[in-house]
Amino acid sequence: MDVGATGLLHDLLEKTFAELGASGPMIRTILLRDRHFAGQRFRCGGFQAVWLAGESEIVFYDEGGTPVKAIRLEESDKKAAA
pLDDT digits (tens, 9 = 90+) for 3-39: 456 778 889 999 999 999 999 999 999 999 999 999 9
User: Which residue type occupies 66?
Assistant: T
User: Coil, helix or strand for 50?
Assistant: strand
Query: In angstroms, rounded to a whole number, what is the distance separating the alpha carbons of residues 45 and 16?
Result: 12
* Count of structural domains within the chain: 1
Residue 13, CB-side half-sphere exposure with 13 Å CA sphere: 26
Residue 74's pLDDT band, with cuts at 50, 70 and 90, is: confident
Query: In angstroms, rounded to a whole number, what is the distance separating the alpha carbons of residues 27 and 49?
Result: 10
Query: In angstroms, rounded to a whole number, what is the distance separating the alpha carbons of residues 33 and 27?
Result: 20
Domain of residue 49: give its range.
Answer: 3-81
